[in-house]
Amino acid sequence: MTVNPQSARSEVPAQAGRAIPLAVVVAPVVLAVPAVLALSSLPLLSSLSFRPNILCSLSRGRIDTKPRREAARRATMRSNFAKLLKQLRKNFPQADLEIVRKAYRRANEAHQGQMRLSGEPYVIHSIKVAQILALLGLDPVTCAAGLLHDVLEDTEVTRASLAAEFGEEIATLVDGVTKISGLSFPGTASEREITQAQNIRKMLVATARDVRVILIKLADRLHNMRTIEFLPADKRLRIARETLDIHAPLAHRLGISTWRWELEDLAFRQLKPEVYREIAAQVATRRREREAALNKTIAFLQDQLQQAGISAQVIGRAKHFYSIYNKMVRQGKSFEELMDVQGVRIITETESGCYNALGVIHSLWTPMPGRLKDYIAMPKLNMYRGIHTTVMRENGRPMEVQIRSEEMDRIAREGVAAHWIYKEGEKTQDRKLEEQLAWLRQMYEWLKDTTSTEELLDSMRRDFRDSNIYVFTPKGEVKELPSGATPLDFAYLIHSHIGHQCIGARVNGRMVPLRYHLQTGDVVEILTSKNQTPHLSWIDIVVTGRARTRIRQRLRELGELEPLEETPPKPKEHRTPHRPVHMPLRTVRHVDDATRHKLIRIEGAKGMAVQFAKCCDPMPGHAVLGYVTRTPGITVHRVDCKSFRKSPRDPKRIVDASWEGEGVFEAAMRVLIGQRPNGLVDIAEALRPMNLEILSAHYSPEENGRSAFDFVFEVGDQQMLETIARTLRSVAGVTQVKQVSVRERSARRLAEAG
């Protein structure tokens, strides 16, 4: 044991504040030296080192613990590195791990003397990052880069020396991670936002070159979040917010569910500590009771599947705290009102076994309508595949069931890493991984054209988030879009030319405005005209980065936007997180004469003999009216046409006119709902997918504990009105749905009022 003479005083106990004579300490030691030297010849103690400075240390009052701390740190480093090697040997039994050992020695040497705020040597962080990568199944070269990921940024090591020592591949990976800026975003909120936007661009550039760069960065962020409690409070909040906005959704988009869940929960714990603790306490309160019931369900299901001849494993699946919180907010319910905090997952051997297991589940319990999702037939963009269903148990509580094959389950846990192949020193990636990464490379191209920092962050959050929709082309092809996407987003997803020439859209056979919010299951048909060009207002209608970029590019080509380098920053505008900004006026579409004749409706009828007034040149999107003339029949004017208003006219000859998909009625309904918590929330959730333009709403209590909800909304036709009424009647607790009035928003009345 080594003792430091400079730090030995505090170990000697003081007696009533009185100093201890030096002889009292030294004399016993001097007398003991011969005995110690004699004992050192014994086999048991012959290996111990007795150094002369121990006498000096003891004579000064205490034994120094610094060498003990150093020894403990070295032991911790060796132990963690041994775990890393063990995991890599398990993953790659035939691989040569010398590159990993060499990287560890270099990282330890480069970070010598550097300490983290936790008090640990800095190299412990590097080892932990490499461990996270190894647990995901990544190869030894990537883990070696993980060990070295901070040496270019935090030490004197240069890229050239790193490439000379470890090769160009590792140097490129480490350099890619280094170019992504660190955790700190100093300055004002605006400056931090700009820095964050630049950081996002750098991540996309690095990922487009090699996906392992972003995996190392995410592993780095994950370990930093695990040790975030050592940072100052303001820095913890900034990092947690960035993690929740960018890193966790990115992990999800890459298909790495284990990282996503942990990042979300760790960030949630920092951002809303009181809510986090409350949910954690609620989950723990009846844990044993829930686990006992869940284990009983698992055993029952396992037996039923075995009887059906299906080889499968059934496991419990508890929801993560952030997922529970989101569900409480989304549904407006307390924790006690949530009935599906736990669920089960069935892992089969084959894909066909998934559908067989689904049949068993639905034969045992009644499936809840609208809760079956087949991600095997329609995989998510992050490569996730599986079947989700929710069934109603005999106790009246719903239960979520996920069904996957063994391969699907591995991909769900490992994401893109599941497609990274390492074999005897050869690193390749399969075709599925190339398809998965295409969206990242495309996203970088889209966001290069984004001039507003807020717009960039908004696009990232929207494109990364979980709430996507799945729509169909007329030929039955499935297309995935973010929630809130419009027909224009769909058109630009198909092809830029389709988007540029879009004049309208039919959804499920019905004309809809371009700002319509698409829903999962919609069949979308885009109407085009060769004379159509994009409009500046389209930028605020679309929600995807791809569509916004293509529109801007085309507008610049037409001279309607300044060149990119001269474009001033767009002023901030407050946007609803999950919905595009709606233009206060209709979107006007300039189309050719033949297209106008196809779209015009006279009192709801099409194919009438009409001509379009030259004085106002009405186009789809303009409010219009018809005026009966002797020849050629009916002339269509804009409602705000000054020439028409100034000229003498006979009100009896004014007829209603509209464009297909733009005939609008104002309908008023009253909904009576019984005593039930969160009744209004359930009504709003039922109406949300219908894209209603609600003009006014009023809530009032009635007798017998009932409540009335009166609202006025825009509707296109009687069929839609009946659908709304039918949907409201299906909401639990609703006792009556009454249609109060329907009033046509007539162009004739508008004209007469003018």
The 10s digit of each residue's pLDDT in 154-186 is 888 998 999 999 999 899 889 888 876 443 334
Q: Which residues pair with 711 in a beta bridge?
A: 669, 697
Residues 6 or more apart in contact with residue 430 via CB below 8 angstroms = 419, 421
Predicted local distance difference test score (pLDDT) of residue 664: 58
Residues 6 or more apart in contact with residue 99 via CB below 8 angstroms = 140, 141, 144, 166, 170
Task: Give 406 or 286, the one with higher predicted confidence.
Answer: 406
Alpha helix locations (H) across 286-383? 287-307, 321-331, 351-364
Residue 179 in tokens: 């170019």
Is residue 153 annotated as a catalytic residue, yes or no?
A: yes
Q: Which of 153, 349, 458, 466 is catalytic?
A: 153
pLDDT tops 60 at residue 387: yes
Element (H, E) at 432: helix 431-447
HSE-up (13 A, CA, CB side) for residue 24: 7
Residues 6 or more apart in contact with residue 138 via CB below 8 angstroms = 212, 215, 417, 420, 422
φ/ψ region of 603 (left if φ > 0, alpha if ψ in -120 to 50, else beta) reads left
Task: Give 457 or 129, the one with higher predicted confidence.
Answer: 129
Interatomic CA distance for residues 300 and 475, integer angstroms: 43
Lowest mean pLDDT among 407-411, 432-436, 493-497: 432-436
CA 224 to chain centre: 20
Is residue 265 annotated as a catalytic residue, yes or no?
A: no
Tell me the per-residue pLDDT of 545-602, one tens digit each, with 9 for 90 and over: 778 888 888 888 888 877 655 444 444 444 333 333 333 334 566 677 777 887 888 8
Please report where in the chains the tokens 């998909």 appear, as a residue: 661
Interatomic CA distance for residues 563 and 552, integer angstroms: 10
Burial environment of residue 650 by CB neighbours within 10 A (0 to 12, 13 to 18, 19 or more): exposed
Residues 6 or more apart in contact with residue 233 via CB below 8 angstroms = none
Lowest mean pLDDT among 178-182, 318-322, 371-375, 737-741: 178-182
Question: Given pLDDT bands bounded at 50, 70 and 90, which one contains residue 30?
Answer: very low
Average pLDDT, the chain: 75
74 in Cβ contact with 122 (< 8 Å): no
Interatomic CA distance for residues 245 and 237, integer angstroms: 12
CA 526 to chain centre: 29
541 in Cβ contact with 515 (< 8 Å): yes
Interatomic CA distance for residues 118 and 122, integer angstroms: 9
Question: Given pLDDT bands bounded at 50, 70 and 90, which one contains residue 148?
Answer: very high
pLDDT tops 70 at residue 344: yes
pTM: 0.59
**Cis amide bond preceding 398, omega within 30:** no
Share of the chain above pLDDT 90, in %: 21
Count Cβ neighbours within 10 Å for each residue of 348-366 and write b for 16 or more, e otherwise.
beeeebbebbbebbeeebe
Tell me the per-residue pLDDT of 680-713, one tens digit each, with 9 for 90 and over: 777 777 777 666 667 777 777 777 767 888 888 7
Q: Which of 11, 70, 120, 154 is catalytic?
A: 154
Task: Give 631 or 487, the one with higher predicted confidence.
Answer: 487
149 in Cβ contact with 177 (< 8 Å): yes
Predicted local distance difference test score (pLDDT) of residue 627: 87
166 in Cβ contact with 144 (< 8 Å): yes
Domains, the chain, in order of start with CATH, read: 5-59 (no CATH), 68-271 (1.10.3210.10), 282-417 (3.30.460.10), 449-566 (3.10.20.30), 593-659 (no CATH), 665-745 (3.30.70.260)
CA distances to 303, 353, 395 from 360, rounded to whole Å, are: 11, 11, 19
Predicted local distance difference test score (pLDDT) of residue 10: 35
Please report where in the chains the tokens 């037409």 appear, as a residue: 558
Residue 644 identity = F
Burial environment of residue 117 by CB neighbours within 10 A (0 to 12, 13 to 18, 19 or more): exposed
Interatomic CA distance for residues 541 and 518, integer angstroms: 13
For 309, the 3-state DSSP assignment is coil
Question: Given pLDDT bands bounded at 50, 70 and 90, which one contains residue 256?
Answer: confident
Q: CA nearest 690: which of 673, 666, 714, 664?
A: 714
Question: Given pLDDT bands bounded at 50, 70 and 90, which one contains residue 751?
Answer: very low
Question: Given pLDDT bands bounded at 50, 70 and 90, which one contains residue 430?
Answer: low
Predicted local distance difference test score (pLDDT) of residue 103: 94
Tell me the per-residue pLDDT of 102-113, one tens digit each, with 9 for 90 and over: 999 999 999 988
Predicted local distance difference test score (pLDDT) of residue 97: 92
